[in-house]
Amino acid sequence: MFTSLAICILLAVAGLVSSQQVAFDVASIRDSTHPVSVGTFSRAQSNFSTRSLASVTSHNGYLALAHPRFPSHQVRVKKSEFCDPTVNVYTGYLDVDYGAKHLFFYFFESRRDPDTDDVMMWINGGPGCSSSMGLLMELGPCSIDMQNVSSNGTTWNPYSWNAEANIFFLDQPVGVGFSYADYGETIETTEDAARNIHAFLTIFFETFSQFKGRALHLAGESYGGRYLPAFASYVYDQNTVAVAEGRETLNLSSVIIGNGIVDIMMVYLGRYEIECGTAAFDIPFQSINACVRMKTTLPRCQQAMQQNCVDIFEEIGCKAAVDFCQDQVSGVFANSDRNVYDISKPCVGTLCYRETEVIKDYLDQPSVRDLLGVETPKNFSSCDNDVGRAFNKRLDKYAVPSQFYIAGLLERGVPVLIYSGTYDWQCNWYASKLWLEKLEWSGNAVYNTHDFRDWIVDGHKAGEVKSAGPLTFATIRGAGHMVPHDKPAEAQAMISRWLARADF
């Protein structure tokens, strides 16, 4: 989510190391206002097999959890009174590379039945944007207080997705949000990030055995269209390894992508239809002169990207093609003064939303950081430019076509929900429509024979939907890039039906 550098914007194999139940290494970190010193990497002081998450009771000190298959990783977790007083809330860090890198997470139990409800991981995009934004602006249990009506800076969100699911919000890769590295280490590709996600989930879900076998959903938006297909594919492949070795697997139940960047070839065609066609408004908002310019440069843009980014990935040529498309096709949008994430609104404030500045001020308060157990000395930033630049320098968005991952997941029966707000320009719904129609998988012909049909919330049309086998594509009318922010009731209804395996 967010940043002009980006075009748009847990779950892994759990297993036993032998046929017998493994023992987990645990260390209780001292209680203090500051949970652990930077760089602390505690090894086991006592062994146990599994435990209940409810056994984590400290609000100050972290409990460190390790796994014999991941000797260079540990998860530290503590209880918190942050955000939702009706459920158990936990925060913590995944320590990577023997404590050199630290990934921050929030975990909220379900408001309905945490002992049986599904588990979901949510990530924002960028690359480099914090999932705190999704938490406090979109689908989290509380929303940032924009009216100064609360005593603690947040207000209750009745449309939170933890109404029916246990949810992680993860700041990844290292450097994003409250995640940090001790010595400047970085993660610069999605495939490298997937390994850390896998380690985190293995430790967490193997340790807290109440989640074993529970349905797990990988969800996110924007650059999540690049992240999630790769993460889910890594999970699936590791599940296959686990089965061959006689170990248990995690129940990867679906991938959920909102306004995602997936097939880069379709982005610019989609933007043209948003500006100069009727994909968003009944009457195009862009000038005729600008639309003529875009129309005449699109073929060259498409040809250059096909040759240099798709047919053969050639770094210099691909970057030149992308620069040309950005300048000649997408460059005229800046003159419209519209919000790139919601063309029905002006761009106001940092990253086009006033909430981002208020969230930053809130999360930089010492009392809030202490409540969460934040360790990094850095001030909070919605999106970290250094992380974004590192990924963009590696052309991560273009190096591996995400639609190939999605096709592979669909062929193996993993359900995939693609949803899009129709007012987004950055990662627009029309681009998703185009790449889904040409996606190379065995259900393509059936998908393309189906028509869109309306889906209804509270007696009103929320959008259109079409499905084939494990694939579902839904639009949300009148929403922008951040669907739960713009249409909270519709977004919650969508997720509720998806989790219930119900027809839209």
Q: Within 13 Å and on the Cβ side, how many CA atoms surround 401?
A: 20
Angle CA(267)–CA(271)–CA(275) in degrees, nearest 5? 175
| Among 131, 160, 222, 432, the one annotated catalytic | 222
Residue 155: strand pairing partners: 143
424 is catalytic: yes
Beta strand 101-108 with 215-221 is: unpaired
97 is catalytic: no
* CA distances from residue 251 to 14, 230, 429 in whole angstroms, order as listed: 9, 17, 29
Give the DSSP H or E segment for 195. helix 190-207
Question: What type of residue is 354?
Answer: R
Give the whole-angstrom CA distance, residue 65 versus residue 69: 12
**Angle, nearest 10°, between helix axes 429-438 and 264-276?**
130
| Among 424, 467, 485, 486, the one annotated catalytic | 424
Task: Compute the residue count for the chain.
Answer: 504
Task: Kindly write down the DSSP assignment for every residue of 199-241, as one continuous string.
Answer: HHHHHHHHHBGGGTT-EEEEEEETTHHHHHHHHHHHHHHHHHH
Beta strand 180-181 with 342-346 is: unpaired
| Among 67, 102, 481, 485, the one annotated catalytic | 481
Residue/partner pairs of 331-335 with CB below 8 Å, 24 or more apart: 332/275, 332/286, 332/290, 332/293, 332/294, 333/271, 333/275, 333/286, 333/425, 335/290
Give the DSSP H or E segment for 403. helix 402-411
Give the whole-angstrom CA distance, residue 448 versus residue 73: 45
Q: Which of 404, 373, 498, 406 is nearest to 102 (CA)?
A: 373
Task: For residue 152, give every residue at least 6 positions away whose Cβ sits within 8 Å of its Cβ, in sequence order, or none.
Answer: none
Q: Which residue has the tokens 């249990």?
A: 141
The first and second tokens of residue 469, run together, are 């086998």
First to last CA, the chain: 26
Contact 290, 334 (CB under 8 A): no
State CA 310 to chain mean position distance: 25
Q: Please state the φ and ψ torsions of residue 338, each to the nearest 5 degrees.
A: -90, 160
Residue 168: strand pairing partners: 107, 121
460 is catalytic: no
Angle CA(441)–CA(442)–CA(446) in degrees, nearest 5? 105
The residues annotated with a catalytic role in the active site are 222, 424, 481
